[in-house]
Structure 1
Amino acid sequence: MKPIVNSGGILRAPLSMMLNLALVYVAYGICRIAYLLENWSTFAPNLTWGAMAEILRGGWMFDTSAILYTNALYIVMMILPLHWKETAVWQRAARLVFIVFNGLCVAINLADAVYFKYTGRRTTVTVFSEFGNEGNIGKVVAVEFMRHWYLVLLAVLVVYGLWRLYVSPEKGVPEGLRRPVRWRKMAAYYGVNTLFLVLFVPLCVCGMRGGATTAVRPITISNANQYVDRPLEAALVLNTPFSLIRTFNKQIFTVPDYYSPQELERIYSPVHTPRADAAERKKNVVVLIVESFGREYIGGFNKWLDDGKYKGYTPFTDSLMRHSATWMYSYCNGRKSIDGMPSILSGIPMFVEPFFLTPSSMNDVSGIAGELKNKGYYSAFFHGAENGSMGFQAFARTTGFTDYFGRTEFNEDKRFRGDDDFDGTWAIWDEPFLQFYALKMSEFRQPFVSAVFTASSHHPYAVPEEYKDVYPEEGIVIHKCIRYTDNALRRFFETARRQPWYENTLFVITSDHTNLSDHAYYQTDLGGFCSPVIFFDPGGGITPGMRDGIAQQTDIMPTVLGYLGYDRPYVAFGCDLLATPAADTWAVNYLNGIYQYVKGDYLLQFDGRNTKAVYRYRTDSLLKENLVGHVAEQGQMEREVKAIIQQYMT
């Protein structure tokens, strides 16, 4: 393309740079629209033209920050007060830098539009730690390339547009600086370009920080919430390059000073002390963490859904629930697998970033296995993926599990087909691995505590070849996988019933997080955290039935230890559900800079400083009416969630 900047202009390189940066703003805008359309069912129900205008206003600020950060080298190349920058070689290099950096930003913005379905937020730098040990990421990405070919095509078109519309200064050294040297023109050239540099650099710094006043600190991810009514919508305000940059090598946990240590302990403490009247039970404990097994798919939790016609996709789990203790309003504490593990097995929720991907994970952290080791329990963790996958093996060892059984140990067991049962992407199919799990536990000395993490109800949403006609496509793509995994659970319990340890075992069933959804109720800020919490004791020690109360993953550890009559103090951010009145149970989770606290009839959304919203979630299921400032319980809920946050950060 021919240059459009006047060849006689002293500032032709800086001016062409500004035009090119304007093209990048257009590219980011296209990516934001694609992000919205790819996740239309999540955003559309509450999105008005006024809300969209506010999102775009906030997006401009975050885009400015990201664009200036990622184009810093290009900007320097174009505004240095040196006449070399006018040469053809220099400009070719500058153009290449511009295309490479901005092309990468376009690609990760569009890729994150797909990943949002699983996390509910923009991707941060911890994603590299989360998947650092996976050897199959290339295959997963290739599958997504095929499935979302239209986003790949869009990325190519946008990058081509940046290349084609790029504005270049004319090649060569400005006429006024060619020999013989004309000192007056040289002074004008260097003087004006130096002045431009001096003025433009502070503007860049202000743009990177998000403002120029002394009250402005560098904007962070949480600042996006000032432009939206729902934490989920903060993902539309943000862009992925900004989220990656702002979370790189940053201090994750900052201890707030809401309360003095003495007052903090009076309001809330995560330290559990044993009940004096607790009777000790030497029961085995089996925790089944079922991949993506959200409440939405389970008919027993949704008898009211679709005007009472909804059946769900889990007939076996529905039948098991009739003999189990369950809670109508049960939640996970995070949106990713790495969030679920600490919550379920150690009573630690996800605040800000996954706990076991932060430096704080090096602290002395225990869990169900570590505590029961004090009572002579043997413990083992099972996961059908490559040993070390997702950091689960390290997590298991850190929290007290004695042994780990993964794909390697499954392949060594001659009772099974080894890698013939590998799903080709992530792990051993659920049905054979759960059979391995059931039989392996019969080799353990009792009492024991074990946990298994399943894998089949997950992207790329496939079922074994022999089940493709049994569980065909229906509803959304994950439903057939849920049916397959539910049947794998049925077969697991059929095998477990024949084992000598079965009658003396407490079973806990939950999910690591939720997944794809086709009901508006499960697409709200709170609905995206709806996971089952199910306690089943075949020996009859727990009264079955659905409780009209709140439960969360972090309640599992204190409930298990309380049921066993554990007699030592321990730390867990949850309640003993079997010993706590339903009115006093609660749940907490974190979404895009907002802490969500559920208690009684209300959901409170708190940004660390102020309450942003209060909803009567039991009746206002789609969270339409914000009651902030009009609910008597708001003040006490604020006190409690502040205390939970401060205890966690401390």
Structure 2
Amino acid sequence: MQTNTYSGKALERFMGNLLLNWRKTTPFLFFLRYYLFWVLIFFLQRLVFVLYYYSQFKEAGPEKMLQAFVYGLRLDLSMTGYFSAIPLLLFIAQQFTQTLFFKNTLKIYTWLLLLITTLISGGDLGIYENWGVKLNYRAVSMLAHPAEAFETSKSAPLLLLLFIMLAELVIAGIAYRLVVAKMKIPAGKLLSHEKIAYSIQLLLIPALIFLSIRGGWQQIPVNESVAYFSAYPVVNHAAVNTPWHLSSSLLKNRHSGQKNMYSYLPPGEAAERVNHLYQKCGDDSTRFILTQQRPNIVFIQLESFTADVIQELGGDSGVATNISKLIREGVLFTGIYASGVRTDQGIIALLSGFPAQPQTNIVNQPEKIEHMPFLSLALKNENYHNAFYYGGELSFGRFNAIAHRAGFDHIVGLEDFSDAGLFNKWGADDKSLLDKYVAEMQRPAQPFFSYIITSSSHEPFTVPMPAVFAGDSHNEQFKNACYFTDRSLGSFFEAVKTMDWYKNTLFVLVADHGHHLPRDRKFNEPARYHIPLIFFGDVLKEAYRGQKITGMGSQTDIATTLLKQLQITDTAFKWGNDLLNPNRKPFAFYTFDDGFAWLTAKDTLIFDNRAKRLLIPVHKSADAAMNDSLLTDGKAYMQVLYDTFLNY
């Protein structure tokens, strides 16, 4: 009986010291309170932003304003994780050295961060009114030009901002004293059971810090798009953690800067050449191929669907048989090229008509996205009802931020699929995604614009069906994944043909980008960027069904082409030609790591910017002067494109 009593007390003492001993502070409790301190600081800074720009929240309403605090919490925790990493290392060092430096060093470190974050918060308040964006790389880079920065700051109420920053520091100091400074961590020699408890905690704390930095166990690490939940930009901006956003902006733009890395020509000459590319060679003789001026539009963005799996474009046979059926009844554009190599580049090229950029990506800067045109917004202005469907995490490619900015009323992502058995690495498979769309579109308001993004044909090519193409190589795996997507499309079209709205609907199918599989294409080879574009549906005029439209074109031409068919004038889409106008200047342009390609019917020029030379030139024209002129066109295009990117 005595033994059991002693054993019980020993167990109680061990468990009491394992994680939280309330008689004296353990490392876990200390870091928990240090986390709480920074969450409170970020809450305070967000509250200041909301109060400072309160008048801009009136249209969004109080509910959205309050939701900003909830949606911003993940980025707050992520930033807190970054801030806690160094204190953890300092604490561990103290345990090894047996010297009591941690508390004083932590105080200096924390106050330094408080000064920095307070300056960031104040700077954010100062630029937002004029720029309408969060404090970012572009704003900070202005410090390299003090005179310009001073002129820009003249309109800001500097005294008020200084007072706000001072008040933030005072409140932060009080919070630090109450939440952190009074905590006592035992130092010196530990008892044996305390050593065990400390060891367990010092393994647990780094794991939790890593988890908070990453934003959870999900596949895609947390990024600022998780804070984008509303169609009102100011609400999203309030939710975004400003230090997190600025750090991300600095890291992503440390190489791109604010200087055009692709400046080849005098600006006026470059602009004139680019403008000339979008001028008609003759009268506006657009072929109008639709029977209705306001059809529903279902836009399907196909993951990695290279022309090499489309038999009608010279690709392998037997991979996309259902797409072949659509081609026989629809309109196939045979000379379309992707703008870049990533999905997030493709969605911008398709929805905004804006070309991909080398070395950087405009989706990494949400403040730039907010100034771009979107096909969905142009249609929304014509009373279209917009919906966005993706089976994966909406944080991927910042789809969430894009979808909200693009004016989609209904946004579907991974969290809207309840059956975990449907998921692969990228989320719901294409069959499940398309089935969900059909189920939710029984009686939709018309006209509508739906944007659907498939994902099953993305690496690692795991699809819920037996292999059709035998073999374990990536080529066969890729073709099997494409086959599954194609089979899912077959079922999808069988289902939607029974819908009342089907007869009023135009379906647009296009790839987000090409792929090196299944023919092992080189990274800059034109065939890798060659993709299908298909218009299909009962709204096509009989005379155009089964036709093939030749001529070079790009993803960036599609929005312009659709708006022309609907006879909607929108001059914001400056990087697109009308693919159905035979008098356009046919060309295609794409970018890779640090270069670009310029394609016409007669010439293919691939330019390596690092080497400042043509890379694998394919000159079909014997006229050297013509080739030089085309290369100059390509350089002018790249220069003006990057200028536009910098100025968004």
Letter in 1 for 2:411: Y
Match of 1:282 in 2: 294
Q: How far apart, in 2, do the equivalents of 1:455 and 1:440 lie?
A: 20
Q: How far apart, in 2, do the equivalents of 1:254 and 1:607 lie?
A: 19
Residue 320 of structure 1 deviates from its aligned partner by 1.1
> What CA deviation, in whole Å up to 9, does each residue of 1:351-402 have, x standing for no partner?
1222211466245112110111111111111101134333111111122222
> What CA deviation, in whole Å up to 9, does each residue of 1:159-192 have, x standing for no partner?
xxxxxxxxxxxxxxxxxxxxxxxxxxxxxxxxxx
Letter in 2 for 1:634: N
CA 625–559 in structure 1, closer or farther in 2 if over 3 Å, else same: closer
User: Is the CA contact (8 Å cut-off) linking 1:333 and 1:343 kept in structure 2?
Assistant: yes
Letter in 2 for 1:293: F
Residue 248 of structure 1 deviates from its aligned partner by 5.8
Q: Secondary structure at the match of 1:250?
A: coil
> What CA deviation, in whole Å up to 9, does each residue of 1:560-588 have, x standing for no partner?
11111113322242211012447x22111
Residue 591 of structure 1 deviates from its aligned partner by 1.6
Match of 2:337 in 1: 331
Match of 1:354 in 2: 361
Q: Which runs of 4+ in 1 moved over 6 A?
A: 131-134, 269-280
Match of 2:380 in 1: 373
User: Is the CA contact (8 Å cut-off) linking 2:604 and 2:618 kept in structure 1?
Assistant: no
CA 610–408 in structure 1, closer or farther in 2 if over 3 Å, else same: closer
Match of 1:402 in 2: 409
Counterpart mapping for 1:580-599 below 5 A? 580-581=582-583, 584-599=585-600
Say which is worse superposed, 257-266 or 532-541, in terms of deviation.
257-266
User: Is the CA contact (8 Å cut-off) linking 2:366 and 2:401 kept in structure 1?
Assistant: no
2:546 corresponds to which of 525, 544, 547: 544
**Runs of 5+ in structure 2 lacking a partner?**
1-212, 222-249
CA 254–645 in structure 1, closer or farther in 2 if over 3 Å, else same: farther
Letter in 1 for 2:629: Q
Match of 1:497 in 2: 497
Letter in 2 for 1:558: T
Match of 1:8 in 2: none
Q: Secondary structure at the match of 1:531?
A: strand
Match of 2:326 in 1: 320
Residue 471 of structure 1 deviates from its aligned partner by 6.4
CA 564–460 in structure 1, closer or farther in 2 if over 3 Å, else same: same
Letter in 1 for 2:510: T
1:291 corresponds to which of 303, 313, 328: 303
Q: How far apart, in 1, do the equivalents of 2:216 and 2:581 lie?
A: 41
1:268 corresponds to which of 270, 275, 282: 275
Q: Secondary structure at the match of 1:588?
A: strand
Residue 635 of structure 1 deviates from its aligned partner by 3.3
Residue 249 of structure 1 deviates from its aligned partner by 2.1
CA 625–641 in structure 1, closer or farther in 2 if over 3 Å, else same: closer
Match of 1:468 in 2: 466
Q: How far apart, in 2, do the equivalents of 1:320 and 1:508 lie?
A: 10
Letter in 1 for 2:466: K
User: Is the CA contact (8 Å cut-off) linking 1:346 and 1:572 kept in structure 2?
Assistant: no
Residue 326 of structure 1 deviates from its aligned partner by 1.9
Q: Secondary structure at the match of 2:322?
A: helix
Query: Is 1:254 aligned to residue 259 of structure 2?
Result: yes
Q: How far apart, in 1, do the equivalents of 2:452 and 2:296 lie?
A: 14
Query: Is 1:301 aligned to residue 303 of structure 2?
Result: no
Match of 2:431 in 1: 431
CA 611–577 in structure 1, closer or farther in 2 if over 3 Å, else same: farther
Q: Secondary structure at the match of 2:598?
A: strand
Q: How far apart, in 2, do the equivalents of 1:552 and 1:362 lie?
A: 20
Q: How far apart, in 2, do the equivalents of 1:422 and 1:321 lie?
A: 30
Q: How far apart, in 1, do the equivalents of 2:598 and 2:217 lie?
A: 37
Q: How far apart, in 1, do the equivalents of 2:491 and 2:636 lie?
A: 44
Letter in 2 for 1:468: P
User: Is the CA contact (8 Å cut-off) linking 1:268 and 1:644 kept in structure 2?
Assistant: no
Residue 629 of structure 1 deviates from its aligned partner by 8.8
Letter in 2 for 1:479: K
Letter in 2 for 1:563: Q
Q: Secondary structure at the match of 1:288?
A: strand
Q: Secondary structure at the match of 2:259?
A: coil
Q: How far apart, in 2, do the equivalents of 1:318 and 1:133 lie?
A: 42
Q: Secondary structure at the match of 2:455?
A: coil
2:400 corresponds to which of 365, 376, 393: 393
> What CA deviation, in whole Å up to 9, does each residue of 1:269-316 have, x standing for no partner?
79899979998711111111111111111112116xxxxxx4241111
**Runs of 5+ in structure 1 lacking a partner?**
1-130, 140-244, 304-309, 412-417, 615-622
* TM-score normalised by L of structure 1: 0.54
Residue 516 of structure 1 deviates from its aligned partner by 4.2
Q: How far apart, in 2, do the equivalents of 1:138 and 1:558 lie?
A: 33
> What CA deviation, in whole Å up to 9, does each residue of 1:113-161 have, x standing for no partner?
xxxxxxxxxxxxxxxxxx977844499xxxxxxxxxxxxxxxxxxxxxx
> What CA deviation, in whole Å up to 9, does each residue of 1:179-214 have, x standing for no partner?
xxxxxxxxxxxxxxxxxxxxxxxxxxxxxxxxxxxx
Backbone CA RMSD of aligned residues: 3.6
Q: Secondary structure at the match of 1:322?
A: helix
Residue 347 of structure 1 deviates from its aligned partner by 0.6
> What CA deviation, in whole Å up to 9, does each residue of 1:73-121 have, x standing for no partner?
xxxxxxxxxxxxxxxxxxxxxxxxxxxxxxxxxxxxxxxxxxxxxxxxx
Residue 449 of structure 1 deviates from its aligned partner by 0.9
User: Is the CA contact (8 Å cut-off) linking 1:268 and 1:643 kept in structure 2?
Assistant: no
Match of 2:179 in 1: none
Residue 534 of structure 1 deviates from its aligned partner by 1.5
Q: How far apart, in 1, do the equivalents of 2:582 and 2:463 lie?
A: 40
Match of 2:480 in 1: 480
Q: How far apart, in 1, do the equivalents of 2:421 and 2:492 lie?
A: 19
CA 603–257 in structure 1, closer or farther in 2 if over 3 Å, else same: closer
How many percent of aligned residue pairs carry the same amino acid? 24
CA 284–547 in structure 1, closer or farther in 2 if over 3 Å, else same: same
Residue 523 of structure 1 deviates from its aligned partner by 6.5
Q: Secondary structure at the match of 2:576?
A: coil
Q: Secondary structure at the match of 1:503?
A: helix
Q: How far apart, in 2, do the equivalents of 1:576 and 1:253 lie?
A: 32
Counterpart mapping for 1:520-535 below 5 A? 525-535=525-535
CA 624–371 in structure 1, closer or farther in 2 if over 3 Å, else same: closer
Residue 259 of structure 1 deviates from its aligned partner by 3.8
> What CA deviation, in whole Å up to 9, does each residue of 1:388-438 have, x standing for no partner?
333111111122222211122343xxxxxx323222x21111112111113
CA 331–613 in structure 1, closer or farther in 2 if over 3 Å, else same: same
CA 275–549 in structure 1, closer or farther in 2 if over 3 Å, else same: closer
Counterpart mapping for 1:89-238 below 5 A? 135-137=217-219
**How many positions carry a matched residue from both structures?**
393
Residue 460 of structure 1 deviates from its aligned partner by 1.8
Query: Is 1:342 aligned to residue 348 of structure 2?
Result: yes
CA 524–588 in structure 1, closer or farther in 2 if over 3 Å, else same: closer
Query: Is 1:575 aligned to residue 577 of structure 2?
Result: yes
Match of 1:561 in 2: 563
Query: Is 1:510 aligned to residue 510 of structure 2?
Result: yes
User: Is the CA contact (8 Å cut-off) linking 1:267 and 1:639 kept in structure 2?
Assistant: no
Q: How far apart, in 2, do the equivalents of 1:252 and 1:327 lie?
A: 37
> What CA deviation, in whole Å up to 9, does each residue of 1:41-77 have, x standing for no partner?
xxxxxxxxxxxxxxxxxxxxxxxxxxxxxxxxxxxxx
Q: How far apart, in 2, do the equivalents of 1:612 and 1:577 lie?
A: 31
CA 266–339 in structure 1, closer or farther in 2 if over 3 Å, else same: closer
Q: Secondary structure at the match of 2:531?
A: coil
CA 471–561 in structure 1, closer or farther in 2 if over 3 Å, else same: same
Q: How far apart, in 2, do the equivalents of 1:524 and 1:254 lie?
A: 25
